[in-house]
Structure 1
Amino acid sequence: MTEITTNSSVLKKRLLSLDVFRGITMASMILVNDPGGDHSYAPLEHSKWNGCTPTDLIFPFFLFMVGISIVYAMESRKEVTTDHNKLILHAFKRTVILLLITYVIRFFFQPNLAHMRIPGVLTRIAVVYLICSILYIKTSQKTRDWLFVIALVGYYIIMTFIPVPGVGYANLEPTTNLGAWLDRTVFTTNHLWADSRTWDPEGLLGTIPAVATGLFGIRLGTWIKRKDQEDSVKVTWMFVYGVIAVMLALIWDLFFPINKALWTSSFVLYTGGLATIGLALSYWLIDVRGHKKFTPIFVAFGANAITAYILADFIPHYMGKIRIGGKPIYNVLFAPYFSPVNASLASALFTVFCIWIVMWVLYKRKIIIKV
């Protein structure tokens, strides 16, 4: 069940830098998902196929933080109980709730089961959370490191060497790669991404490297939680790990391109490396150096991320129905005063602010809604 907590001690136990990092990522997600018009600056759009824009970093950063959160949420539980089945059942219940939230929202906006999309962002988060939770509970860090490597190398081999049925050769094109074929076979075209119906950016096969992104986060969370290392040493090695991951990704990109839709192995290393560098900076400034005056602005989003995610679907939807003098808000407040691209950006920032107000009220009342 969904849990609403008002105890301030819950906030104190959280890793503040992680909440800030999550909050910035959540605000960025709302910003890029809810432009007011059809025009956007290039960094606020996804890459067309190969490559990586700042917008492409948002989803993998979330999965990376899922891995870190697993460590912080489950380490104490692992210490007080040897009943792993109980821990796994708890993770399974959370996964089911996340999936229910996903499909209830989809049915609300499009009550047509015959064409409802089955894969999706929150769906992938739920599945990755469950798999990574089980791996964290049942395996050692050394085993998880090996699984991380096997997932990345194995996915590369699968995608670049196994011939695609009906095509006859392995390829990385949008509609003819092995992942696209598998999604059409399992889900049928009626239940894939509405913008294509021939492939899905959150498809089945991409779950393998997506789990690797979660394992990347678990590795970092385990490192941050170590008590036998000084904070300066932790941060230094976080920067080193991040830079090495990015460098390896750029090398791998030469023959297995960085690609969000395919969630390629190079994409896992590239985004995981950048996330590690970003969190290292956040951890050093906030948790180690104590620069916390600015943090509440972002913690309001980060501490209640799932609530913000849901509101990011509903608030823009109902804002779009509001009319001023018979005109949409966008055509009254933004379009007449800005260029098309800046009007779209201003509208998106306004949406972020509206959702932030709700999150700020929850934060000030010390209310955390968890699943």
Structure 2
Amino acid sequence: MDAYRGFVMLLMAAELLQFHRLHEAFPSSVLWGLLAYHQSHVEWAGCSLHDLIQPSFSFLVGVALPYSLASRLGRGQSLQTQFSHALRRSLILILLGIFLRSTHREQTYFTFEDTLTQIGLGYPFLFLLGTTRPRTQWIALAGILVGYWLLFVLYPAPGPNFAYEAVGVPPDWPEHYTGLAAHFNKNSNAAWAFDRWFLNLFPREKSFLFNGGGYATLSFIPTLGTMLLGLLAGQWLRAGLPARALLRRFLIAGAVGLALGLLLDVTGLCPIVKRIWTPAWVLFSGGWCCWLMALFYGLIDVAGKRRWAFFLTVIGMNSIAIYCLVHLIDQFIINSFHIHLGHGPFQVLGPAYEPLLTGAATLGVFYLILLWMYRRRLFIRI
């Protein structure tokens, strides 16, 4: 679990490598084109490797919950005490997300669509569901998926005269849907309408009209579905199943999730869109999360190959630390390199490779910080 989490956080931090700059410098290169694609989010529908970062992080929150509940019960904590801790953790995650989003802005930037706030908004509900039976959890998952789908399809789809330019979407944007799927179009859906009301309740530099990426506050509801999938996976891990039987269960669950998500997409019932976390995305990304879980479980726990995962484990055991480091001091480190070393050392392969080498050096500094923390057993937990 720590290695999987470390892999996810490494993918997030690896944005510093700026593969898109090399793709721009070498547009005919298949390698840089492929790496650039998987280091960025798709425009709307579909999935890249980068799009799996947030669902994986959310999924792993769910996986960890059964272990946390068992540990706290073992220490004699009541459910009331544990729920109070869950509420406190939720509030800290939400405030931390807002704080990081507000960096370098003129005032507090109240927004709730980033990874930390989305998890924070759903965590108390996840905790409560974690104390119920698996049957109740499956019913809750189905209710979340169906209910969120109904919320979108019952909200009026944009008509032919809808002013897409007013919400930051070109009228000829190739990602526009028609038919039932039009209810999931960018910045013209139920979640966008909610944010037009909700986000303007907070002090802002100017009125909220739309999110440039199409992200939405209400995505925390289906994100809870992703965390529920992780909760179920965590319960499987704690159930004492034979290792190969557990591995097979992860593989089957992943295949089912991928198949159901693709079926909803190709039939036009519900597109696979990460930015508004559609029900099809919950199933599709959940399938990938199960397969990634199977990969790390198979290599580390079944095959016993642990040494290679130490690098990832160091990162995964301090996921909050690396998240904050990347958001707060990345530019400080890059500027320090340039001030004290100049640009020359990072241009040894040519000017086009400077962003790559600068990013790699910055990642190296981050890892040394995390390794120092790991060896001194300093772990930031909320």
Q: TM-score range by the shorter chain?
A: 0.7 to 0.9
Describe how 1:96-175 pairs up with structure 2 within 5 A: 96-113=91-108, 115-137=109-131, 139-163=132-156, 171-175=183-187
Percent of counterpart pairs with the same letter? 25
Structure 1 pair 43–106 and aligned structure 2 pair: CA distance change class (3 A)? closer
Query: Residue 312 of structure 1 is aligned with which of 326, 344, 350?
Result: 326
Deviation for aligned residue 1:131:
2.0
TM-score by length of 2: 0.81
Tell me the secondary structure at the aligned position of residue 206 of structure 1. Answer: helix
Deviation for aligned residue 1:317:
2.4
Structure 1 pair 57–118 and aligned structure 2 pair: CA distance change class (3 A)? closer
Deviation for aligned residue 1:79:
5.5
Query: Residue by residue, what CA displacement relative to the aligned partner does 1:308-361 show, whole Å, maximum 9, x if unpaired?
Result: 11111123121243363699x6x5444673474x54444433332221111111
Structure 1 pair 116–155 and aligned structure 2 pair: CA distance change class (3 A)? closer
Number of residues of Structure 1 aligned to a counterpart in Structure 2:
346
Contact 1:36 1:347 in 2 (8 A): no
Deviation for aligned residue 1:188:
2.6
Residue of structure 2 equivalent to 1:203: 216
Q: Does 1:299 align with 2:317?
A: no
Query: Residue by residue, what CA displacement relative to the aligned partner does 1:276-315 show, whole Å, maximum 9, x if unpaired?
Result: 1111121122123321111211111101111111111123
Gapped regions of structure 2 (runs ≥ 5): 24-35, 164-179
Could you say which structure has the greater relative contact order, defined with CA pairs below 8 angstroms and 6 or more residues apart? 1
Tell me the secondary structure at the aligned position of residue 188 of structure 1. Answer: helix
Residue of structure 1 equivalent to 2:294: 280
Query: Residue by residue, what CA displacement relative to the aligned partner does 1:6-59 show, whole Å, maximum 9, x if unpaired?
Result: xxxxxxxxxxxx000000100101112663875661111110111111110111
Residue of structure 2 equivalent to 1:6: none
Query: Residue by residue, what CA displacement relative to the aligned partner does 1:43-89 show, whole Å, maximum 9, x if unpaired?
Result: 11110111111110111000000100111111233466583211100
Tell me the secondary structure at the aligned position of residue 69 of structure 1. Answer: helix
Tell me the secondary structure at the aligned position of residue 253 of structure 1. Answer: helix
Contact 1:231 1:288 in 2 (8 A): yes
Structure 1 pair 201–174 and aligned structure 2 pair: CA distance change class (3 A)? closer
Gapped regions of structure 1 (runs ≥ 5): 1-17
Contact 2:237 2:246 in 1 (8 A): yes
Residue of structure 2 equivalent to 1:7: none
Query: Residue 13 of structure 2 is aligned with which of 30, 41, 49?
Result: 30
**Whole-angstrom distance in 2 between the partners of 1:325 and 1:226:** 54
Describe how 1:1-371 pairs up with structure 2 within 5 A: 18-32=1-15, 35=18, 41-78=36-73, 81=76, 83-113=78-108, 115-137=109-131, 139-163=132-156, 171-188=183-200, 198-199=210-211, 201-227=214-240, 229-254=241-266, 255=268, 256-322=270-336, 324=338, 331-334=343-346, 337-338=349-350, 340=352, 343-371=354-382
**Whole-angstrom distance in 1 between the partners of 2:301 and 2:271:** 35
Letter in 1 for 2:258: V
Residue of structure 1 equivalent to 2:175: none
Deviation for aligned residue 1:234:
0.8
Contact 1:98 1:126 in 2 (8 A): yes
**Whole-angstrom distance in 1 between the partners of 2:83 and 2:374:** 30
Tell me the secondary structure at the aligned position of residue 380 of structure 2. Answer: strand
Contact 1:64 1:216 in 2 (8 A): yes
